[in-house]
Amino acid sequence: MEKKTSQETLKAYRKRIDTALDNDFLRTAMDRFAVAYKEGRKNAFKDMDTDDLIEQVAILKKKAIENRTALLEEFTFQAEKKGIQVHMAADAQEANNIISHIGKAANCQKVIKSKSMTAEETHLNPWLENRGFKVTETDLGEWIVQLRHEGPSHMVMPAIHLSRYQVADLFSQVTDSRQDAKIEGLVKVARSTLRDNFIEADMGITGANFLIAKTATMGLVTNEGNARLATTLPRVHVVLAGIDKILPSLEDALKVARVLPRNATGQQLTSYVTWITGPSQCTSMETDKREMHIVLLDNGRSAIADDPLFSQVLHCVRCGACANVCPVYRMVGGHQMGHIYIGAIGLITTYFFHGRENARNLVQNCTNCGACKAVCAANIDLPRLIKEVHARIQDEEGHPLKSLLLAKVLKNRKLFHGLLRSASLAQVPVTGNTPYLRHLPMVFSNEHNFRALPAIAKVPFRDRWKKLKPRIDKPAMKIILFSGCVQDFVYPEQLEAAVKLFKKGSVDVEFPMGQSCCGLPAMMMGEKEAARDVAIQNVKAMRGFNAQWIVTLCASCASHLTHATRDLTKGFLPDKEIKDFIQRIIPFSDFINRFAPETVLPGGKDLASHAPKAVSTAGKGKVTWHSPCHLCRGMGVRNAPKDLIAASGQTFVQAEEEETCCGFGGSFSANFPAVSREILTRKLDDAENTGAELLVTECPGCVLQLRGGAVNQERNLKVSHLAELLAGTVKTSSD
Amino acid sequence: MDHHQLIQQFKEKAQLVSATIHPEMTLETALTTAVKYCQKKSSCQTSRPWESPPGHQDNGGAREHVKTIALPENHASLETLLSPMCSSRGIELVTKNFRNHARGMDMGITFADYGIADTGTLVIGCDGEDMRLATMISDIHVALLPQSRIRSTALELTDELEDMMAAPGAYTAFITGPSRTADIERVLAIGVHGPLELHIMLLKD
Ligand code: SF4
Ligand code: SF4
């Protein structure tokens, strides 16, 4: 395994990622998994109210964390009554120390473990091995990675990065006999070889999925049966579990167990759920009872629980789903997507459990697509917390120059817009004859060659507005147009298309000049202060316009303004004004779809008359849709745009992975161009597989990524914004 | 859902997780079916096929020739029925110290306390060590479940489960199908550290 040293630079981390991207087996395996998982999960939750079940988990975990002091006391009291020896460990080292002492005192030499992420967290194995214990992992995947001297690459499937051939080679060495690369057979090798280890072991170490305060019962959710042997054959049983695992009652645990396996692997229930209440019968002990210890690990958990924002991290039930759906995880695998804990939750907990040095680069490896949040078994706002960790790290270590610059520029709208204007002049020699700029000045990086980049518009939308503003006699309603910087300065034509549609529907449009960047790029770069500054500017810019809605054609702006404004501006602006601002934010397609039939577009859904001729004459008129992450998951808008495409007279064809991220993620694509490129390629494959010639989306960031990729990869696919399709202004040439 | 439908759901769900269901039997037929099945099966699977010829015996080692059925001591009532069935087929019926057979036995026969219909799960109180081992180290686990003990969901059983789990030393197992893993290339493989097969004998009441 590639070692992650504490000094690892972003550059070195990227190199590690490049190696992972070159791993063809990993690529294919992860792609298959990503698609299969979604289907499996859907089936497992069939006929159930998934949101409600997850909400119940979130609520009960929240209560348990809030009530943790009393629960811990109750659990300890009950456990001791049942004959369990309870130990409190403040940190990883203390936990390891307690366990090695238990082992020495009970004269244990051979230790078997069933899978425990908490033991990975404390690096228990090397600790015990250095003290003379022989430690054997017995979960098949864990055993494989132990034999390879690696860490797990997934919380539920630790060896998902390996092929059957690699396992066969490994097992051939272990058994000193050639083993075929047949999975059934390899599993039997593990069964047979490890059985001796179980029989000979003095001590069994397990984690716990639940610790029930009422009866001091521990619950283990497993498939292989190794945890049952590990808690039955050895004479000493040590449980290592975080204090966050304590729940009041069996009922709570059963409610978690209802969601956990379904969310983890698409199983309705795992093969085994084992409930152990204190030392059970053990015939190899004179007392006829096993020696049982529970080591309760804090390791920063109390501090997290006290943090109003981050306490939700402790609601995690370790299902691993946030990795299963993550587009970045899919590309780079677990060893690059977490330190010990993997996936979205890993990006966050690494900071708390394993320190800033290990988290610094990791937290930037996120496109902010929100897929993890949408699937989380405990409803944790993972993307937000990832950004917050990034901001904290920068506050603690000092901000890098490029992010400082960005913050400084963003805070001063006139300076920012001035720079963008001059960039449009500066790029002339760079872009040559093409309309594509190699180095978009907004993104301070030179590794963007994987997609063609658009030029800064000669005249930004804001400078065209005076001429564009429609005069409407009897307006049906009045709206504010929020452009965001990419559309304003790169794609003003998308806004113009929308204005055309608004005019048709007698909608009066205002464009407040005081509006600025939405602030998401600042958040993505860990510049929370700058994000706050622009948030305040934006709310203030809307003053005095008296419009019903604030419509935006940028899904990322919509989502950021809706979800981040309250926290950023609270205490800086009147509560009512903030609320009023947030409630009026609406994505373009949602607005048109809601109001088109009656008000905005006379003729209602019969938009066929405005069908863009350019497209229908160019080919079969098949149109597919890429749902921006911040539209489908961020704003919950899923059908409106597709209805509009169909109503526009085009043949709508659905892509299989319509809601999968395009890989843009603002500064993400600048920091991790190689990952971004791979995500993009898969996205374009998926769109092309539909047979469509036009890929429509509703976010300028997605347009930038997708169109740039389509041009660079010479795909037979045009990309446009929904507004252009509806207004009939889709260009026929590739620009 | 009436009880008949619950039984139906239980059967379907259990089959989905690769359990074998034998419907509506008397205890005697169930045991005969089990013993006959044991006679047909190949010898205990925890041996090492790639190693020296079978037949060697070590302490706690799997015996290659004589088949064994584990019947925990608290199931003494079944012994009178099972004993002649086994001896006539040359199968050894073991009723205690399963630890000495930890490398593996051919079959373990136990009662189940409840069935949970919505997941096809068995609930088995396994407080005694032999009770536990019978469900773990056997190639085939045969669970006898009176049909009347089938409930709809685990949550519906909360009170009964709490009673089972209350006493110190309680060890309660939810068992859903045979042991499984998908740890290599996510391909489902049955039979890792637990039984390779799970047979559920539904008993008439
Ligand atoms: S927001 Fe998207 S990219 Fe970021 S961790 Fe979650 S799933 Fe992965
Ligand atoms: S954060 Fe949510 S999705 Fe990720 S492992 Fe924890 S519970 Fe599962």
| Cβ contact B45:B196 at 8 Å | yes
Total residue length of chain B: 205
- Does the distance separating the beta carbons of A279 and B13 come in below 8 Å? no
Helices A164-175 and A183-200, packing angle to 10 deg: 40
What local confidence, expressed as pLDDT, does residue B1 receive? 80
| Shared domain check, A297 and A332 | no
Whether A656 is in a domain gets the answer yes
The reported pLDDT for the residue numbered A132 is 96
CB contact under 8 A, B169 and A280: yes
Residue A540 belongs to a domain = yes
Residues A340 and A216 reside in one and the same domain: no
The CATH number of residue A256's host domain is 3.40.50.10420
Q: Same domain for A236 and A286?
A: yes
Q: Do B194 and A225 touch (CB under 8 A)?
A: yes
Q: Which of B129, B174, B189 sits opposite A281 (nearest CB)?
A: B129
Chain B: closest CA distance from residue A668 (Å): 30
The confidence score (pLDDT) of residue B162 equals 97
- Same domain membership, residue A469 and residue A359: no
- How far off is chain B from A673, nearest CA to CA, in Å? 28
pLDDT in tens, B141-184: 999 999 999 999 999 999 999 999 999 999 999 999 999 998 89
- Structural domain including A502 reads 461-727
What residue has token string 């059983």? Answer: B157
Yes or no, beta carbons of B161 and A250 under 8 Å apart: yes
Phi/psi at A113 (5° precision)? -125, 145
For ligand 1, atom 5, which residue shows the shortest CA distance? A344
Does a structural domain hold residue A128? yes
Question: What is the Cα–Cα distance from A100 to A237, expressed in whole angstroms?
Answer: 13
The residue of chain B nearest to residue A270, with distances taken between CA atoms, is B176
**End residue of a domain, out of A249, A269, A302:** A302
What is the DSSP secondary-structure string of B114-164? EEETTTTEEEEE--SHHHHHHHHSEEEEEEEEEGGGEES-TGGGHHHHHHH
Of B141, B145, B74, give the one whose Cα is nearest residue B107. Answer: B141
Among A121, A342, A376, A379, residue to substitute to test ligand 2 (most atoms within 8 Å of Cβ): A376
Query: How many structural domains compose chain A?
Result: 3
Pair B68, B105: CB distance under 8 Å: yes
* E-assigned strand segments in A440-476: none
Tell me what pLDDT residue B55 has: 41
- The answer to whether residues A135 and A242 belong to one domain is yes
Which uninterrupted H or E stretch holds A119?
helix A117-121
Structure tokens at B178: 């045979």
Question: How many CA atoms does the CB half-sphere of A151 hold within 13 Å?
Answer: 26
Q: B25: which strand partners? A: B203
C-beta of residue B142 within 8 angstroms of C-beta of residue B22: no
Using the Cβ of A269 and the Cβ atoms of chain B, whether some distance falls under 8 Å is answered with yes
Averaged pLDDT for residues B12-19? 95
Is residue A587 included in any domain, yes or no?
A: yes
Burial label for A178, CB within 10 Å (0-12, 13-18, 19+), is: exposed
Please check whether residues A711 and A683 belong to one and the same domain: yes
Do A403 and A391 meet the contact criterion of CB atoms below 8 Å apart?
no
A224 and A297 in a single domain? The answer is yes
Name residues whose C-beta falls within 8 Å of residue A446's C-beta, 6 or more positions apart in sequence. Answer: A439
Same structural domain, A34 and A81 = no
Does A406 map to a domain? no
Query: For residue A604, what pLDDT is reported?
Result: 47
Which chain B residues are Cβ-neighbours of A282 within 8 angstroms?
129
Boundaries of every domain in chain B: 3-44+62-203
> CB distance B50–A177 less than 8 Å?
yes
> What's the 3-state SS for A375-428?
HCCCCCCHHHHHHHHHHHHHHHHCCCHHHHHHHHHHHCHHHHHHHHHHHHHHCH
pLDDT at site A437? 41
Please choose from A368, A384, A662, A682 the residue to mutate so as to test ligand 1's pocket, defined by most ligand atoms within 8 A of CB.
A368
Upper half-sphere CA count for residue A118 (Cβ side, 13 Å) = 30
Work out whether strand A272-277 and strand A217-222 pair parallel, antiparallel, or are unpaired: antiparallel
Residue B143 CA to ligand 2 center (angstroms) comes to: 35
For residues A462, A463, A468, A473, the Cα torsion angle rounded to the nearest 10 degrees is: 70
How distant, in Å, are the alpha carbons of A118, A350, A590, A657, B133 from that of A300? 13, 11, 43, 38, 38
| Residue whose structure tokens are 């001896």 | B87
Q: Which residue is closest to A152 within chain B, CA to CA?
A: B183
Edge-to-edge strand ranges of the sheet holding A246-247:
A246-247, A210-212, A217-222, A272-277, B170-175, B121-125, B114-116, B150-151
Nearest-neighbour CA in chain A from B122: distance (Å): 10
* Whether the CB of A623 sits within 6 Å of ligand 1: no
- CA end-to-end span of chain A, whole Å? 44
A115 at interface of B, judged by CB pairs closer than 8 A:
no
CB-CB contact of B149 with B111 (8 Å): no
Query: Which element (helix H / strand E) includes B29?
Result: helix B27-40
Supply the pTM of this predicted model: 0.88
Note whether A359 and A327 are same-domain residues: yes
* Average model confidence (pLDDT) across chain B: 89
Report the 3 state secondary structure along A582-611. Answer: HHHEEEHHHHHHHHHHHHHCCCCCCHHHHC
Interface of A with B in 169-198 (CB under 8 A): 175, 177, 179, 183-184, 186-188, 190-196, 198
What's the rounded Cα separation, in Å, for the pair A435 and A454?
6
**One-letter identity of residue B73:** E
Residues of chain A scoring pLDDT < 70: 1-7, 423-449, 596-620, 732-735
- Residue A453 domain-assigned? no
* CB contact at 8 A, A660 and A706: no
Q: Are residues A296 and A367 in the same domain?
A: no
Nearest by CB: B179 against A81, A215, A271:
A271
Is position A165 within any domain?
A: yes
Query: What CATH number is given for B3-44+62-203 in this structure?
Result: 3.40.50.10420
> For position B62, what pLDDT does the model report?
46
Rounded Cα gap, residues A475 and A471, in angstroms: 9
Ligand 1 center from residue A383 Cα (angstroms): 6
The CA distance from A702 to A689, in Å, is 19
Report helix, strand or coil for A114: coil
Secondary structure E strands in A217-351: 217-222, 236-242, 246-247, 272-277, 291-297
Which candidate, A550, A566, A473, A565, places its Cα nearest to that of A518? Answer: A565
Q: What is the pLDDT of residues B49-97, one digit of tens each?
A: 544 444 444 444 444 568 999 999 888 889 999 999 999 999 999 999 9
Chain A residues touching residue B122 (CB < 8 angstroms):
none
- Are B192 and A183 in contact by the 8 Å Cβ rule? The answer is no
Q: How far apart are the C-alpha atoms of A655 and A77, rounded to whole Å?
A: 56
B72 reaches A (C-beta below 8 A) = no
Closest CA–CA distance from residue A79 to any residue of chain B (Å): 9
**What residues of A are in contact with residue B195 (Cβ under 8 Å)?**
225
CB atoms within 10 A of CB A100: 19
Question: Cα separation of A90 and B19, whole Å?
Answer: 44
Q: What are phi and psi of A507, to 5 degrees?
A: -95, 125
Is A666 within 8 Å of A560 (Cβ atoms)?
A: no
Chain B hits for A190, CB-CB cut-off 8 Å, are 192
The contacts of residue A216 (CB under 8 Å, 6+ apart) are A75, A78, A79, A81, A82, A84, A277, A278
Q: Give pLDDT tens digits for A450-494.
A: 777 777 888 899 999 999 998 988 888 899 999 998 899 889 999
Q: Which helix (H) or strand (E) holds A186?
A: helix A183-200
Q: Which residues 80-109 of B are in CB contact (within 8 Å) with A?
A: 97, 99, 102-104
Task: Specify if A527 maps to a domain.
Answer: yes
Rounded Cα–Cα distance for residues A392 and A389 (Å): 5
The answer on A195 and A243 residing in a single domain is yes
Please report the residues numbered 115 through 154 in chain B whose beta carbons come closer than 8 angstroms to any beta carbon of chain A.
118-121, 127-129, 132-133, 135-137, 154
Element (H, E) at B189: strand B189-190
Say how far apart CA A596 and CA A71 lie, in whole Å. Answer: 55
Torsion sign (Cα): A232, A233, A235, A240: negative
- State which of A379, A397, A415 marks the end of a domain: A397
Q: Do A495 and A594 reside in the same domain of the chain?
A: yes
